Structure 1
Amino acid sequence: MDDALILVEDLCRHYEVGGETVRALDGVSFAIRRGEWVAIVGQSGSGKSTLMNLLGCLDTPTSGSYRLNGANVQRLQDDQLADLRNEEIGFVFQTFQLLPRATALANVELPLVYRGVSRRERRARAEAALASVGLTNRMHHRPNELSGGQRQRVAIARALVGEPSILLADEPTGNLDSATGEEIIRLFDELNRRGHTIILVTHEPRLAARCPRAIRLTDGRIVGDGPGAEVAAIGAARVVHG
């Protein structure tokens, strides 16, 4: 698929545990186009975390092919892999991972500091990222002065500030109450309408149902790929939508 931002073909990740082979991911194939919002959904042990690590260039596959924005990921050296990860992927984690003594603005600037961006430019870009998530009036607050939802918005702004190709969100509502979690899902919806490609990793079918597309994993294999509401509804049934 020539227009795919992500192209995965027969991807496998196996581990040797106690002399036995654990097939954490076993022959997964799919494509994600630029501008899609896709949920990867499955219960514990389904392979979704393994897949997230591979898509995020945090691990390498045992076999198969993974292309990210045209780059053949498994052929890259460690330093090239790190560069690709930093340039192409913005991570959003369940636990926020903010520096507690830094302001929201300083936390969002951090990825740009590592890239050597000038102080003036990184401040302007961080302010714009915080504005895009509705936190213009909170940029000088520290994490302990923010609500859980506001802290997650800071984390999303930090993921956006480097202008990545993909937002990769791992259980982003896991530490939030249901109302605040709903606010974050609505924010992702708005960001997707602005053109951002978003991959949401979750164990919750109700969140997968909110996405235009969902991929369900069971025992390391895809058992459903189609409209989010339909895939969320099939449970663990081995149904694959064409």
Structure 2
Amino acid sequence: MIPGPRAAAAVAPPAAGTRGEAPLLEVEALTRHYAVGGEEVRALDGVSFHVRRGEWVAIVGQSGSGKSTLMNILGCLDTPTGGRYRIRGQDVAGLSDDALADLRNREIGFVFQTFQLLPRSTALANVELPLVYRGVPRGERRARAEAALAAVGLQNRARHRPNELSGGQRQRVAIARALVGEPSLLLADEPTGNLDSATGDEIVRLFAELHRRGHTLVLVTHEPRLAARCPRAIRLSDGRVVADGAGREVAALGAQAAGA
């Protein structure tokens, strides 16, 4: 359960976007090519789409579809070979490594399949970590981390270490850590991949609640079932967008293609 407004205030998202507002994410004719064994591999081959503030979007595709490469570019962990990627109007192409890191730390909160928690640190210390890197004073970062844990229903587990938490609780800690910096975008990579079905459903319900509160969510997954829970899904195949629409419809197309 997500607590009331006071606890959530410290991790409140920006106001939801409107039709007249520029998209939060702009991906235009994006390409990413690699040289492998003397051959050129087109991991992304002309990908285009926009994401507005407050949207919840799944990027779905099988292994080799290009979704991991796209996630790395959306997360400012990589830069495209061609085309454009803008986040809040800023083009990532040509940015230095330091500028990319700064953009990533300011605008993006990451949620990973394997949680990526420090095993010897408490849940609270793990959530505080992004604010430590930003130089936020200790008292402020402690208060913000406590509010972020409350926002994912783990205020009573703040002093527990990861090995004292269930898989679902660890993922909630990871989500709180992603939220604590008040990012423009929450980017999740296979967020239910290490969880059983029931626990995975709990995490999806949490994402739905965050979406209801106005957060912008992009989930990268190979699971049509997860994509079907999202209001919108974009399906990749061989580095290209082959479907972009309602999550249930795109997921159904993917299931049909897999059964063909």
With normalisation by structure 2, the TM-score equals 0.90
- Whole-angstrom CA distance in 2 between matches of 1:83 and 1:57: 10
CA distances 1:38-92 after superposition (whole Å, capped 9, x unpaired): 0000000000000000000000100000100111111321111110000000000
**Which segment drifts farther, 68-77 or 169-178?**
68-77
Match of residue 49, structure 1, among 56, 65, 68: 68
Whether the 8 Å CA contact 1:223–1:237 is kept in 2: the answer is no
| Pairs within 5 Å for 1:2-151 | 2-151=21-170
Whether the 8 Å CA contact 1:214–1:228 is kept in 2: the answer is yes
- For 1:231, the equivalent position in structure 2 comes to 250
- For 1:189, the equivalent position in structure 2 comes to 208
- Whole-angstrom CA distance in 1 between matches of 2:254 and 2:121: 42
Whether the 8 Å CA contact 1:92–1:159 is kept in 2: the answer is yes
Match of residue 162, structure 1, among 178, 181, 186: 181
- Whole-angstrom CA distance in 1 between matches of 2:255 and 2:44: 16
CA distances 1:193-232 after superposition (whole Å, capped 9, x unpaired): 0010000000000100000000000000000000000000
Whether the 8 Å CA contact 2:224–2:255 is kept in 1: the answer is no
- Whole-angstrom CA distance in 2 between matches of 1:109 and 1:174: 25
User: Which consecutive unaligned segments of at least 5 residues does structure 1 have?
Assistant: none
Aligned to 1:94, the other structure's residue is in SS state coil
- For 1:219, the equivalent position in structure 2 comes to 238
- Whole-angstrom CA distance in 1 between matches of 2:202 and 2:90: 34
Aligned length: 238
Match of residue 223, structure 2, among 190, 200, 204: 204
User: Which consecutive unaligned segments of at least 5 residues does structure 2 have?
Assistant: 1-19
- Whole-angstrom CA distance in 1 between matches of 2:62 and 2:145: 35
Deviation at 1:19, TM superposition (A): 1.1
Deviation at 1:18, TM superposition (A): 1.1
Give the direction of change, closer, same or farther, for the CA distance of 1:237–1:16 in structure 2 (3 Å limit): farther
- Whole-angstrom CA distance in 1 between matches of 2:242 and 2:107: 28
- Percent identity of the aligned residues? 81
With normalisation by structure 1, the TM-score equals 0.96
- Whole-angstrom CA distance in 1 between matches of 2:139 and 2:235: 44
Q: CA RMSD in A?
A: 1.2
Deviation at 1:168, TM superposition (A): 0.3
Question: Stretches of 4+ moved more than 2 A in 1?
Answer: none
Give the direction of change, closer, same or farther, for the CA distance of 1:45–1:236 in structure 2 (3 Å limit): farther
- Whole-angstrom CA distance in 1 between matches of 2:255 and 2:84: 26
Aligned to 2:46, the other structure's residue is in SS state strand
